[in-house]
Chains A and B, each alone.
Chain A
Amino acid sequence: MQLNLMNTHYITNGLVLVLFTIQFLEFYFLKSTLSDMGPWSWTTIHSKFECLPTFLKKTLKVLLKYPNFLALLSFRWTLTLISLYFPFPTVYFLILLSTLVFLYRWKNPFNGGSDYMSIVLLFGLLVNSITVRTEWREAGLYYIAFHSLYSYFKAGWVKIVRPEWRNGKVLKWLVKSSPYKHPLGIFDFIGHSKSAAITCWFVIVFELTIPFTILSPPVLIIFLFLGILFHGFIVYIFGLNRFFWAWLATYPSVIYTSLSLRSLV
């Protein structure tokens, strides 16, 4: 299957739907934490919104109070499903707006990298839907591709300048900071300085070089496959499942961007 503007948009949209389905179900299972008996009840957190104008405060109170918050999440999920069949700017704008409201409720706790990548994906899809001019529509996918590749490069850069990453000693910190119990084999592996260092350098080289593979689609595909394995490994060690799906959702745009660059040559 050749990737074109339309099917890239559609596949990305589908993967965003998977991501939001996961998020919605997880919050549903955690709904007691958002209820009035939970740590992040509206009655506890509402004071941090006191600085806002009254109209906004009242609106947020309606949207973010339990159980309305769950309704907001299901509204967002429904809109994402609708966007698969009706990819209109208004739909994407409403999804983006509800996501921003949702993230504003948490600010720090639940907002991780996958939430920020969700914003990038939604904004890219919005731009892609907003005009009939191909160049402007492509800009939305290029924006997603840029952030996907930049996130890897930035992570790689941060690692290569840190001696703990270069000598592999950081792996012990990382594995022990995970919320999971780990099989003893992992500690034997990371305790061995050579294998730890090799693993770290493999990650560093992968992250620093992946942006350049965009110049060669076949090489890019190999690297994206390695990316899937990398994120899978992250899920195994740290349980960060949403990262897997959020970054996977950027891959169609990365491939499309690479093919577009290739066609210019």
Chain B
Amino acid sequence: MLDFLKVFFPKWNFFNTFNHLPILQYKSSTSEVWIDVFPELERSELSFLLNPSVNYHYACSNHLFTWLQELKYLKEPTVKDIEQTLSYKITEKIVSFELRKNQSIERFQFRLLLRSPITENEDIIFISRVIQCN
């Protein structure tokens, strides 16, 4: 009930942390090159009114932040433990969904890493097994 009431008194926390950013990358099973799932976007003149691609980007980014938090709290998880979580399943589906749009990749891996926007240093957090693209 308290959580419900909190909706009417938001905290208004914006830009109060400056962490590394979670980045999702994929590679096909036939390549060794990791590619960002979400490349940089081009601006559109209509972005003041309609900006679905950017809002989708932020939705995926927020989801990755949530997944990161969950991974922090899992005690020495195995890959199987992680694969059971809802956040993992959504992440796998995000990657499959993006690959189905533009690529003809049959099997892929994805990884979650943390990248500093300033130094470009990267820390790998998770690498998936090879997955069949549906």
Chain A residues with CB under 8 Å of chain B are 22, 25-27, 29-30, 32-33, 37-41, 44-45, 47-48, 100, 103, 106, 108-113, 116-117, 119-120, 123, 147, 150-151, 154-155, 158-159, 162, 164, 170, 172-174, 176-177, 179-181, 232, 235-236, 238-242, 244
Contact = CB atoms under 8 A, between A and B. Distances in A.
A159 B15 CA distance: 8
Contacts of A147: 10, 12
B117 interface: yes
Given A109-B62, A172-B118, A180-B41, A239 B15 contact: no
Given A44-B86, A147-B10, A181-B42, 4 more contacts: A45-B90, A158-B14, A179-B54, A241-B48
A263 B51 CA distance: 41
A180 to B, nearest CB: 6
A59 B66 CA distance: 26
A23 to B, nearest CB: 9
Contacts of B50: 22, 25-26, 29, 241
Contacts of B100: 37
Nearest to B51: A241
Contact of A26 (B14, B52, B91): B52
B59 interface: yes
Contacts of B43: 180-181, 236, 239
22 contacts: A22-B50, A25-B50, A25-B52, A29-B50, A30-B55, A32-B97, A37-B100, A39-B60, A39-B94, A41-B93, A45-B90, A113-B10, A123-B8, A151-B12, A162-B16, A172-B117, A176-B117, A180-B41, A181-B43, A232-B48, A239-B41, A239-B51
Given A150-B12, A241-B49, A26 B42 contact: no
A164 B19 CA distance: 12
B60 A155 contact: no
> Which 6 A-B residue pairings sit nearest by Cβ, starting from the closest?
A239-B54, A176-B117, A116-B10, A39-B93, A109-B59, A151-B12
Contacts of B8: 119-120, 123
Contact of A113 (B12, B49, B63, B94): B12
A225 to B, nearest CB: 17
B14 A33 contact: no
Contact of A155 (B14, B21, B62): B14
A48 B86 contact: yes
A36 to B, nearest CB: 11
Nearest to A111: B62
